Amino acid sequence: MKSRLFILSAALIGLAPLTYMSPASAVEGYVTSGQDPDQPVRTRYGDCVHDYGYRPGMRFADCEPAPAPVAAPAPSVKEPVVEAPAPVPAPIPVNVPFRLSTDAFFDFDKATLNPKGQAALDEVASQLAGTTYDTITIVGHTDRIGTVAYNQKLSERRADAMAQYLMGKGLPADKISASGLGEKNPTAQCSGLRGARLIACLQPDRYAEVTVSGTATQVSAAAGR
């Protein structure tokens, strides 16, 4: 009898470790309490007991430390776009023509500059002195009163008088040319008029055209004088 009790006791003792190591598990990877599957089995140090199904990264209750918060990426700062300065355009050669009434420069039927004409050319010379140019072309025009030959000579003499005056103000002679077209380019319509009324009506035809070729930018201010 004692021998049989000893054998049975030994068998129960041998089964005790197996029963302790295999408690109920309601959560994969963790050993849970058989009485309360929501409670993990812990060691005496408070650590949760993992079973064979545990893998790193699994979590249950407060068994694993909370993951460290992931810092949000710093907002990207856009570098301000700096536009390259626009290139300075190269000077473009231009022709700057302007028309001068010879009635303001010469008395009727005369080719000698009067004081008003001299003052006007003084301003032209002053403006040209501050510019860059290649040539100054002066072309004289007359009305149709008189013969064609006479008007041709008168237009040439007036253009030459203007050129000589500008040269006397220091403008280079090799850049100045003067010529006349007489009555070849009429613009006024004065049919049926005679005497003083005809002379007044033909005033637009008595003019000199001055053209500055190059990069002059201020000469046009003298237009219409």
In tens, the pLDDT along 154-197 reads: 999 999 999 999 999 999 999 999 999 999 988 888 988 999 99
Upper half-sphere CA count for residue 128 (Cβ side, 13 Å): 28
Average pLDDT over residues 20-44: 71
Both structure tokens of 88: 């300075």
In angstroms, rounded to a whole number, what is the distance separating the alpha carbons of residues 158 and 142? 10
pLDDT number for residue 37: 79
**CB of 30 closer than 8 Å to CB of 48:** yes
The CATH 3.30.1330.60 domain(s) of the chain lie at 94-222
Q: Is the pTM of this model over 0.75?
A: no
Q: What CATH fold (topology level) applies to the domain 94-222? A: 60s Ribosomal Protein L30; Chain: A; (3.30.1330)
Sheet holding 176-180, edge to edge: 94-101, 207-214, 133-140, 176-180
Secondary structure class of 87 (helix, strand, coil): coil
What is the DSSP code (8-state) at residue 173?
Answer: G
In angstroms, rounded to a whole number, what is the distance separating the alpha carbons of residues 202 and 124? 25
- Torsion angle in degrees (nearest 10) through CA of 180, 184, 185, 188: 120
